[in-house]
Structure formats: C-alpha cells, structure tokens
Amino acid sequence: MNKKKVLVICGTGVATSTVVMQKLKAFLRDKGIDASLDQSKVIDLLNKAEQYDLIISTTAVPPSLAGKVINAVPLLTGIGKEQVYDEIEAKLKV
C-alpha cells in the first residue's frame, strides 16, 4: 500500500492548521497509520491539490475539491471530533 499524502490547510497556513496538524499526528501515530503530512494555506490548493490523497481543512475550499476534503473544525472545537477522526481513518486505510 502506498503511503497516503495528506495536506492540512487553513486560511493562512499558520494558526489553526498547526493545531490540527499536532492532533492529526497524534491520532495517526495512535492508529498506526503511516501517512505523509504537509501543512499549507488555502491559496496553495490551486497548485497542489492534485498531489494529495486527502485535504484536511479548517476553512472553505473550492467546491471542485469536495470529494477529497474533510472539514477539520470539529478537531478545534471538540464537537464531533470522533466522526472526523473516523472519516480520516476510513479515507487513509483505503
């Protein structure tokens, strides 16, 4: 199985994506999922989206990417985070 490539994004590529990145690294480690993680800002999607298997975002993204994007806001608020983790795990184990 090829290592999945994951992009974590927020509006500026600094604040909320950093928090999500830390939580995601811990989650993947706990689940034994080996994935390549990158962090960026939403504007970079225009040039990078096709390079990634999964995009985890705390901000709005173009509708054309909806199939590969998971909304990460629940990882920040704590409300619904288990459902988001389940979705991430399902997509990365395919």
The pLDDT of residue 9 is above 90: yes
What pLDDT shows up at residue 1? 56
pLDDT tens for each residue of 30-87:
999 999 999 999 998 888 899 999 999 999 988 888 889 999 999 999 999 999 999 9
Q: Which SS3 state, helix, strand or coil, does residue 26 take?
A: helix
Domains and CATH numbers, the chain: 4-92 (3.40.50.2300)
pLDDT over 80 at 21, yes or no:
yes
pTM above 0.95, yes or no: no
CB atoms inside a 10 Å sphere around CB 82: 10
